[in-house]
Structure 1
Amino acid sequence: MNPPPALPACCTPLDAHWPLPDVLPDTVLLSTHFDPSLLAFDDFLRSTIEPPPSIQRSVAKRQAEFLAGRVCARAALQQLEGLDCIPAIGEDRAPVWPAHICGSITHSTGRAAAIVARKTHWRGLGMDLENLLNAERAERLAAEILTPPELERMAAGRQDQLALWVTLTFSVKESLFKALYPIVQKRFYFEHAEVLEWTDNGHVRLRLLTDLSNEWHYGTELDAQFGVHDGHLLSLVSIKA
């Protein structure tokens, strides 16, 4: 077996720690820290990852986050079933996975992660990493992200959790989209789902507010999970096969 490609200079060694409350069986999740200021001119070559034209033209931050995410994704696929594969960027901007694989890539300031599984075990995986909003920004963005019932629940909740509530709602809806879009092939937005409840130990209940298909229709409820570490919130929506 060929040795794995060298890590980019801008990335730390990959971390297999599971950062969420419930470990998903038959999945591989890997993460890394990255620093765009450490991006070397030969990092893509060193990692044997060909940057698409849109990435070649982008700034160092975008190049580093793309590279970090793809490094995690390739290593996760290798660990899952020995695949040497780097997901391309599809026309819809989503990663293109092998036909029998579902997965998700995410990145935020200085951190990237990827999760993969075989479709025989999981139909959809959506993962999203966000910087925790501060209270002022959360209050400003709340009306754009939250539905009227969500705004009511936020107002009735603890004020010291407002920023967490808005960040979580944003993140878990992003994860929901990533998990469902490959299945339904139909776009939907923040107003098309709502968070019904969440717990301090990282469990979330969601409900669709639109019809996406015969199976995924208005009123369908799903579970999600999240974790908060070092100023980041990671959320995950997983749909069993």
Structure 2
Amino acid sequence: MDRLPTCCTPLQHHWPLPQPLPGAVLVSCAFDPKRLAADDFQRAGIAQSPSLQRSVAKRQAEYLAGRVCARAALQRLDGRDYVPDSHEDRSPVWPVGIRGSITHGQGWAAAVVAHEGACQGIGLDQESLLDDERAERLAGEILTADELQRLDRSRIGLGVTLTFSLKESLFKALYPLTLKRFYFEHAEVLEWDATGHARLRLLTDLSSEWHHGRELDGQFCLQDGHLLSLVSA
């Protein structure tokens, strides 16, 4: 049984994205930092690091919600009871043989997991949709010159938010495999369509396998003013 903290809504075991990923499990929940109780970590059976104890309620609630989702996803995947700890760079520590990703923000958290036989890497990211004015300001930082040229100005908020989110998902999928950081200018979104399919290309060499020119598929969906994207390698 899921041990839910007070600040979280009941967990959803679902696949909101358009293309199911065979062998992957996704779990999500809503959370409210204002409802965070003093014993919520204890209630959920999740350890709290000293730095997390010192952090604000929002950070504590989003961490807790993400880890609760991750534990439930792993339980659904193969029955194990495991809560991912954090590396020094704050990325989750997954069990050997497991690929996974956690995302949280704006009162919603989710985790996706799969055995390494199902995919080499997996990245999940959730963003609030940018309004057109903010998207215009940020476009030059997030999009490459070619992406800017392809950008549909009539849907600039969606286009910039989607590009940002897909690149975040790409990073989450590939960083654990290469242990090399890369940034917005090191990848481009080649195309995306209304069905929720997207195609990305690496513009840098991360390893012999993940090199400049390598292309990957991505997918996304919109829900309640939020955009969820996933890239699997």
Which ranges of 4 or more aligned residues in structure 1 deviate by more than 6 Å?
Answer: none
Q: In the alignment, what sits opposite 1:228?
A: 222
The secondary structure found in structure 2 opposite 1:22 is: coil
Q: In the alignment, what sits opposite 1:202?
A: 196
- Among 42, 48, 57, the residue aligned to 1:51: 48
Q: List alignment gaps of at least 5 residues for structure 2.
A: none
- Among 145, 149, 154, the residue aligned to 1:152: 149
Q: In the alignment, what sits opposite 1:238?
A: 232
Check if 1:216 corresponds to 2:194. Answer: no
Q: In the alignment, what sits opposite 1:120?
A: 117
Contact residue 126 and residue 175 of structure 1 kept, 8 A: yes
CA distance in 1, matches of 2:3, 2:202: 43
CA distance in 1, matches of 2:73, 2:118: 16
RMSD: 0.8
Deviation at 1:121, TM superposition (A): 1.5
CA distance in 2, matches of 1:55, 1:220: 37
Give matches, 1:11-50, under 5 Å.
Answer: 11-50=8-47
Q: In the alignment, what sits opposite 1:173?
A: 167
CA distance in 1, matches of 2:87, 2:37: 26
Contact residue 5 and residue 48 of structure 1 kept, 8 A: no
Q: Which amino acid aligns with 1:91?
A: E
Contact residue 72 and residue 112 of structure 1 kept, 8 A: yes
Q: Which amino acid aligns with 2:66?
A: G
Q: In the alignment, what sits opposite 1:192?
A: 186
Deviation at 1:175, TM superposition (A): 0.2
The secondary structure found in structure 2 opposite 1:98 is: coil
Give the structure-2-normalised TM-score: 0.98
CA distance in 2, matches of 1:213, 1:10: 41
Deviation readout 1:6-50 (Å, 9 max, x if unpaired): 311110000112111101111110000000111111100110101
Q: In the alignment, what sits opposite 1:104?
A: 101
Check if 1:131 corresponds to 2:128. Answer: yes
Q: In the alignment, what sits opposite 2:66?
A: 69
Q: Which amino acid aligns with 2:172?
A: K
Contact residue 130 and residue 234 of structure 1 kept, 8 A: yes
The secondary structure found in structure 2 opposite 1:123 is: coil
CA distance in 2, matches of 1:80, 1:221: 28
Q: Which amino acid aligns with 1:185?
A: L
Give the structure-1-normalised TM-score: 0.95
Q: In the alignment, what sits opposite 2:155?
A: 161
CA distance in 1, matches of 2:198, 2:2: 38
CA distance in 2, matches of 1:5, 1:117: 19
The secondary structure found in structure 2 opposite 1:75 is: helix
Q: Which amino acid aligns with 1:33?
A: A
Percent identical pairs in the alignment equals 66
Contact residue 5 and residue 46 of structure 1 kept, 8 A: no
Q: Which amino acid aligns with 2:139?
A: A
Deviation at 1:92, TM superposition (A): 2.2
CA distance in 2, matches of 1:119, 1:52: 28
Q: List alignment gaps of at least 5 residues for structure 1.
A: none
Check if 1:86 corresponds to 2:86. Answer: no
Count of aligned pairs between the two proteins: 233
